[in-house]
Structure 1
């Protein structure tokens, strides 16, 4: 006999029986705080010395880090800054501008000496002396034993303007001299010949017959921006002593000077108050950068004595350079 198929009376599926819940684990009892504290105390009691040593070491390390580590610097006060500056200057003084100027010009400065031949006339009189043009700027006449048969008639100064031995000086230093000798800063002495003259500026150009191997020529600077109040230095051989340096300022420009004998008038001169005396004639007048702006040529003394009273004159270097055949500035 054929069995009829069985159908579900509902379109929804029959729910699966629920799985039995997993067995619940027994709750772990938490250690009460008093028990933890007791354990820590017991550990500290067992290792008390080690813990104190560790703490002490940690304090020492932190102290070292604090001392050596970077810390913001407190701002310096004006008094502290002033103290530090003074201390630095005391330990290493600043080099003055005048010293730097002197060091720069001195290798180019020369001593210039004019000589007359010592001789006698048939009547047994000595040969007449010829006085320099600017007697107020000339140096005393002292006899010398360096050149037999000659006597020194005047000492002046010169400055090397070309390193082939071309020297600029005053005309009155060498005019009339039968022999001219120059001494360089390294001690070398040499005869010098007169190359050219500029009587209107009391200037003369010499050429040394021998020169040092390391001869330096001076740096020349235009006087176009020179003004009263500018600091200057005169370098030379006052009264044959030197080299000597004296510092001052430009007192005025475009001055005029008449020689005591009234034979010559020099114009367009630089007036300065750096000390100059007989023997400075022909020497350089330099700026604080050691650059030549003039050639010392005369001093003015109302008492007619040949000593400095605060007024000196120099020929602008433009005139000297032009006379030496050098291009203008």
Structure 2
């Protein structure tokens, strides 16, 4: 009788597996679920990459890229944007003159004066220089939105060349300027002057505080004291306009420029009356 052929190992394992299934039947779907679980876990381990720790370097890089894409406006433009709604054009007219001077017109040619004012109370109260309106039979102001109105002088402070005007009519949502004291100003602080030089504007120029508590003798002989000296460009027509810090607050009213010659144009030295004096002219409480 021939000897039985020995079974190989693979055949034995399959036989045992069939015997196990015969004794313990397992649904096919359960086996498939187990296999899927193992496969999913393996795939998750293979795909998972730990997130890199966020460092200050990453934050700085993101901020820099954002600024390069959308640069911030300059401090001067932000200061101008803050004060612009409160800046007005002021024109002194003869009684029988109805036509407003055009930008660039020489006010002296028409026997008129052109300057600037700043709204300090939202009821239409405006600060300007006295020399802009003195002697005028009629005062006309133009607000930031183009609204025009006659105005009357309701107060004056000749020793500081200041006048307080009240507009007969005002635009909706008129915005008064923010004012701040000059006690913490120091030479080197940045400022902007906003106004209508030679009737052109509103125009803005930037510079710094050059000095404090300066004195100046006006062409008519009057002596002004306790002035702010600045080097932001100012010319005829800037008179009465605001001198503004980088946060948009008014610290002075542009009053005069110094030019040893007869040109009456800017050579780097301008003067402004501190806002404390200007506010007092309007009857406002001190800062």
Is it true that 1:87 corresponds to 2:65 in the alignment? Answer: yes
Cα 1:302–1:205, aligned 2, differ >3 Å: closer, same or farther? same
CA contact (8 A) 1:111 1:182 kept: yes
**Counterpart-to-counterpart distance in 1, 2:227 and 2:286:** 18
The answer to whether the Cα contact below 8 Å between 1:228 and 1:251 also exists between their aligned partners in 2 is yes
Residues 77 and 188 (structure 1 numbering): CA distance in 2 closer, same or farther, change over 3 Å?
closer
Unaligned runs of 5+ in 2: 1-7, 18-33, 98-104
The 1:192–1:41 alpha-carbon spacing in structure 2 relative to 1, beyond 3 Å, is farther
Partner of 1:217: 176
Distance 1:38 1:191 in 2: 113
2:50 matched to which residue of 1?
A: 71
* In 2, Cα distance between equivalents of 1:86 and 1:287: 27
Q: Which residue does the alignment assign to 2:80?
A: 102
* Match among 27, 39, 42 for residue 13 of structure 2: 39
Report the alpha carbon displacement of residue 161 of structure 1 after superposing the two structures with TM: 0.8
TM-superposed deviation, 1:323: 1.1
Structure 1 residues 217, 82: closer, same or farther in 2, change over 3 A?
closer
1:258 pairs with 202, 205, 217, which one?
217
Give, in angstroms, the shift of residue 42 of structure 1. 9.2
Quote how far apart the aligned CAs of 1:97 are: 2.7
Deviations 1:55-90 (A, max 9, x none): 9996786445554x4614156695x66653332112
Pick closer, same or farther for the CA change 1:323–1:77 going to 2, 3 Å. closer
CA RMSD of aligned residues (A): 3.3
Q: Pairwise mapping of residues 82-231 of structure 1 onto structure 2 (< 5 A)? A: 83-117=61-95, 140-141=106-107, 151=110, 153-231=112-190
TM-score of the two chains, using structure 1 as the length reference: 0.70
CA contact (8 A) 1:140 1:278 kept: no
CA distance in 1, matches of 2:11, 2:119: 99
Q: Which has the larger radius of gyration?
A: 1
Q: Any residues of structure 2 matched to 1:275-294 within 5 Å, and which? A: 275-294=233-252
Q: CA deviation at 1:174?
A: 0.6
1:107-166 residue CA offsets vs partner (Å, 9 max, x unmatched): 1110000112569xxxxxxxxxxxxxxxxxxx93266xxxxxxx4512100001111111
Q: CA deviation at 1:230?
A: 1.2
Q: Which runs of 5+ in 1 are unaligned?
A: 1-33, 44-53, 120-138, 144-150
1:42/1:189 CA distance change after superposition, 3 Å: same
Counterpart CA distance in 1 for 2:249 and 2:11 is: 90
Matched residues in 1 for 2:175 and 2:95: separation? 32
Deviation, structure 1 residue 263: 1.3
Distance 1:102 1:66 in 2: 58
For 2:285 and 2:165, the matched residues in 1 are separated by 18
SS for the counterpart of 2:94 is strand
Structure 1 CA distance for aligned equivalents of residues 45 and 247 of structure 2: 52
Output the CA distance in 2 between the equivalents of 1:193 and 1:316.
23
Q: Distance in 1 between matches of 2:282 and 2:85?
A: 20
Instruction: With the length of structure 2 as denominator, give the TM-score of the two structures.
Output: 0.80
1:37 and 1:73 mapped to 2: Cα distance?
Answer: 52
